[in-house]
Chains A and B, each alone.
Chain A
Amino acid sequence: MRVIVDFDVCQSNALCMTAAPEVFEVRDDGFLYVLNETPDESLRDKVLEAKRLCPTQAITVED
């Protein structure tokens, strides 16, 4: 699984961080950092929930 964020679209709403904090972190500078672009399969449900909760549809998950 590969996590791709379109940073032109991301607005740092930080909802992804609440769904999958292991993978997404919005830092004090207001920017999103992807902590792990190829997270373990065990995180799939959390990552997909983060994708669904993103208000700007900035997250893509590829297999």
Chain B
Amino acid sequence: MNTIVIVGASLAGLRGAEMLRREGYEGRIVLIGAEQHLPYDRPPLSKQFLAGSMDWENVTLRADDGLDVDWRLATRATGLDLQRRVVNVESGGSAEDVSFDGLLIATGAHPRMLPGLPELDGVFVLRTADDCLALRDALAAGPRVAVVGAGFIGSEVAATCHGRGLDVTVIEALPVPLGRAIGEDLGRRCAQLHRDHGVDLRLGVGVDGLVGTGRVEGVRLADGSVIPADVVVIGVGVAPTTGWLEGSGLDLADGVRCDQWCRALAGGQPVPGVVAAGDVARWDHPGLGEAIRVEHWTNAVEQGQAAAQVLLHGTAAPTFDPVPYFWSDQYDTKIQFVGRTGPDIMVVDGSLDDDRFVVAYGRDGRLVGALGFSRPAVVMKHRALIASGTEFPARM
């Protein structure tokens, strides 16, 4: 293998490139990134970098020393030709084909928009560094802020804006925040976190539209009421960035469909030398027995590394079988989650009325997940317990 092309110059792509070198690959690595920036870390964009308490230098991802990569930044992949084994790219108005022997697809995801919203100044999404800088500039004027969506991004943006002393309203169409990710009971606890800090949380109400001409003046809700706002942040989730793969022959189903080794599938069969990792990949998780796509930081690191090993070693490399993990910092609380939710819930540390506690999730007598508020050590012990197939309730 002489040339490995990595499309997507963010966390999964960078950690994949590093793994190729660690495994002794000495050929060419081409790293293609749509943004102008070298790889950077996205979690601070809704937290410390948005708050203004972290420098750009600390947002930039550090790469292994001596990582020899042919960077192609501000370069957008526009297509994939599996017959000729080239990635079509576009940069500064000129098109080019980049040949590969091996390909790692790591194009991540992009924010969803609410359909039918007018183009108004003062309306933001948050995914890239440039998105963050634009929002940060707008927050400096001391606006009233409305956040649409109480998922991770929306909740963190609300907490950060609150920390900057701004009036914040959060609007969520579902009955609790984060219900799909952590279950209804704990979602209710996260709602309490917002309210404890005086953030106005409107649950179970959809957005009907935006008010204003030229510049946003408020959010009109489905019940007809209007939330006045100078800045509106839309945080209603992301969609995998697979538009450039349409017509390539790869199986696309809310992400790039992959097998247990993260090998991209076409017609249900793995394509030789093509893998995917990070937010864009929907792979057959061996332990769960279903295809999942994970939009979290740790998964991008681990899957980028795993997919790189598969490029070099094929199915002699391990399948990708992680216990998912994510964290979210909101106000002064560190929310951490490992595994997945289950129908059975038990408080294993502290109490839900406390600022600090841990809840375990069980399914069919097995421990399948855990969630903690500001109890990192206890949560992380559960990651190992879940991986080893511990019974529920777990004996600690």
Contact = CB atoms under 8 A, between A and B. Distances in A.
A12 B41 contact: no
Given A9-B58, A27-B377, A53-B298, A18 B43 contact: no
Contact of B58 (A11, A17, A27, A57): A57
B329 interface: yes
Contacts of B297: 55
Measured as residues with beta carbon below 8 angstroms from the partner, the interface class of chain B is 20 to 34
A13 interface: yes
Contacts of A25: 377
B233 to A, nearest CB: 22
A30 B58 contact: no
A15 B325 contact: yes
A57 B329 CA distance: 16
B380 A15 contact: yes
B346 to A, nearest CB: 19
B366 interface: no
Nearest to B329: A11
B367 to A, nearest CB: 16
A54 to B, nearest CB: 10
Interface in B56-89: 58, 61-62
B377 A28 contact: yes
B298 A14 contact: no
B298 A15 contact: yes
Contacts of A17: 377, 380
A3 interface: no
A12 B298 contact: no
B392 interface: no
Nearest 4 CB-CB pairs, A to B? A14-B376, A14-B380, A26-B377, A12-B376
25 contacts: A9-B58, A11-B334, A13-B327, A13-B336, A13-B376, A14-B336, A14-B376, A14-B377, A14-B380, A15-B325, A15-B380, A18-B383, A18-B384, A27-B377, A28-B378, A30-B374, A30-B375, A30-B376, A30-B377, A52-B15, A53-B298, A53-B302, A55-B41, A55-B298, A57-B62
Given A55-B327, A57-B41, 7 more contacts: A13-B327, A14-B377, A26-B376, A27-B377, A30-B376, A52-B18, A57-B62
